[in-house]
């Protein structure tokens, strides 16, 4: 039994194909509706699963091709993040057999597929399709900065995460590691290029620059809705990161930042000496930012894609406190009041200090100096909007100057 799945999001196609193939269906996928119609004609599937909103042509046009042009009754299952009645009614008026709203579980897709075309004769009875993978209506890019992580990288945890959570694209940034981290990352990527990439920095530039490079690299991926970063040691739980994404997806926040607040009901394990230093530093940070942050330095943050250029195009001036610089740039790009409305600090359920972290007690003492750098360095910071205004005025001045020069030359020749 054959299934054709058409969706412009590869991060949607991969888990669906993997699950249906494991059950016993023959599956083909396509990201382009025009090509999808040609594949339909040659593949002759028993079921078509198609997304509504795609570039070039919509899923409705593919349905018309099957129903009106080919005059076939092949079962069609439509997926969409749209919830309006008009879209649903239009689909059924054109002749679709089923409609599902994203997010939706793979279990339900499989159950509806079996209902529409039956179970394959060669069914993999050992395939237990009971895990809770959800096909999301958004795509998320995650930057993981890595420096000498050959021994510490939790490869299985990363792979399990992307197997259980659809819509994620991981970008590991090798920050000029001196061990075999790059080789480990390249091996991790093999066979998973659709949702894992490795960005290699030949020289070590520090976490701030590694994250910045990774964020800008993922910005080029037009399919992503949100981009964030996560520490390679996974001191922040994946489930907590998923909660951050859920928050930004269902709100008007531009940044959702994890917060390692020690409280009842949460497993937040910190070294006591580091905790005391952190409290002192955090007090200074709150004064500099004029924002009541509990924890700016948590290595788990998610951003609306549209603000990434504003915050990451310019290099950071400090090595470790780029998180503070991010929030300072939000103040400069918007205003203090507006920035407070666009930033959410969300408590984590779990965070554990991992042995081997790069920031030592001695390094912590240098942070005070770096905070002074931020306070003075951003006093005259020009926002991207200000720079655009300055560039526009400069261009106008240059044009007027050229016009004046031409008039002067003409007058001189006369």
Closest CA relative to residue 256, chosen from 320, 300, 308? 300
Q: Per the structure block, which two tokens stand in for 368?
A: 């005070």
- What does DSSP assign to residue 316? P
Structural class in CATH, domain 2-117: alpha beta
CB 384 within 8 Å of CB 301: no
Return the bridge partners of 217, or none.
none
Q: Per the structure block, which two tokens stand in for 139?
A: 């795509």
Residue 351: what pLDDT?
62
Q: Map tokens 């993997």 to a residue.
A: 18
3-state DSSP assignment of residue 404:
helix
Asked if pLDDT for residue 362 goes beyond 70, the answer is no
Cα torsion at 72, 74, 138, 218 (round to 10°)?
-70
19-23, 164-168, 391-395: least confident range: 391-395
Q: Where are the alpha helices (DSSP H) in 220-292?
A: 238-249, 272-289
Residue 229, H or E segment:
strand 226-230
Residue 131: what pLDDT?
61
Question: Is the full-model pTM beyond 0.85?
Answer: no
3-state DSSP assignment of residue 25:
coil
Residue 48: what pLDDT?
98
CATH 3.90.550.10 given to domain 138-381: yes
Residue 239: what pLDDT?
84
User: pLDDT tens across 44-103, in order?
Assistant: 999 999 999 888 899 999 999 999 999 999 999 999 887 788 999 999 999 999 999 988
CB 356 within 8 Å of CB 235: no
More confident residue, 400 or 167: 167
**Percent of the chain topping pLDDT 70:** 82
Residues in contact with 21: Cβ distance below 8 Å, sequence separation at least 6, in sequence order = 27
Binning pLDDT at 50, 70 and 90, where does residue 397 land? very low
CA 316/CA 231 separation, integer angstroms: 18
Domain spans in the chain, listed from the N-terminal domain onward: 2-117, 138-381, 388-414
Binning pLDDT at 50, 70 and 90, where does residue 293 land? confident
């Amino acid at each position: 039994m054959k299934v054709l799945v058409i969706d412009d999001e590869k991060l949607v196609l991969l888990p669906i194909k993997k699950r249906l193939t494991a059950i016993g269906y023959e599956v083909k996928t396509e990201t382009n509706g025009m090509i999808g119609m040609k594949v339909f004609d040659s593949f002759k599937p028993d079921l078509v699963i198609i997304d509504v909103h795609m570039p070039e042509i919509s899923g409705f046009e593919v349905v018309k091709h099957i129903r009106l042009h080919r005059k076939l009754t092949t079962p069609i299952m439509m997926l969409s993040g749209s919830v309006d009645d008009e879209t649903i009614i239009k689909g059924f008026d054109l002749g679709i057999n089923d409609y599902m709203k994203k997010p939706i579980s793979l279990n339900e897709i499989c159950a509806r597929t079996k209902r529409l075309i039956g179970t394959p004769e060669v069914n993999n009875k050992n395939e237990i399709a009971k895990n809770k993978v959800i096909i999301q209506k958004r795509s998320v890019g995650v930057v993981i900065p890595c420096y000498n992580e050959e021994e510490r990288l939790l490869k299985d945890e990363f792979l399990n995460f992307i197997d259980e959570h659809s819509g994620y694209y991981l970008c590991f940034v090798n920050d000029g590691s001196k061990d075999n981290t790059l080789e480990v990352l390249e091996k991790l990527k093999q066979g998973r290029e659709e949702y894992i990439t490795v960005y290699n920095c030949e020289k070590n530039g520090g976490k701030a620059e590694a994250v910045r490079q990774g964020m800008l690299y993922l910005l080029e991926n037009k399919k992503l809705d949100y981009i964030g970063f996560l520490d390679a040691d996974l001191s922040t739980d994946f489930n907590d990161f998923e909660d951050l994404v859920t928050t930004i997806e269902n709100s008007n926040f531009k940044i959702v930042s994890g917060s390692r607040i020690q409280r009842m009901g949460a497993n937040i394990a910190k070294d006591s000496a580091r905790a005391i230093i952190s409290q002192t530093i955090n007090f200074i940070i709150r004064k500099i930012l004029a924002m009541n942050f509990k924890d700016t330095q948590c290595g788990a943050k998610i951003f609306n894609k549209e603000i990434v250029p504003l915050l990451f195009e310019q290099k950071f001036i400090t090595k470790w406190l780029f998180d503070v610089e991010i929030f300072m740039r939000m103040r400069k790009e918007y205003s203090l009041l507006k920035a407070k409305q666009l930033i959410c600090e969300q408590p984590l359920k779990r965070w554990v200090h991992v042995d081997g972290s790069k920031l030592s007690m001695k390094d912590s003492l240098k942070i005070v100096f770096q905070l002074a750098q931020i306070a003075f360095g951003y006093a005259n910071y020009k926002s991207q909007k200000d720079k655009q205004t300055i560039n526009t005025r400069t261009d106008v001045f240059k044009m007027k100057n050229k016009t004046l020069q031409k008039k002067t030359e003409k007058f001189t020749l006369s």
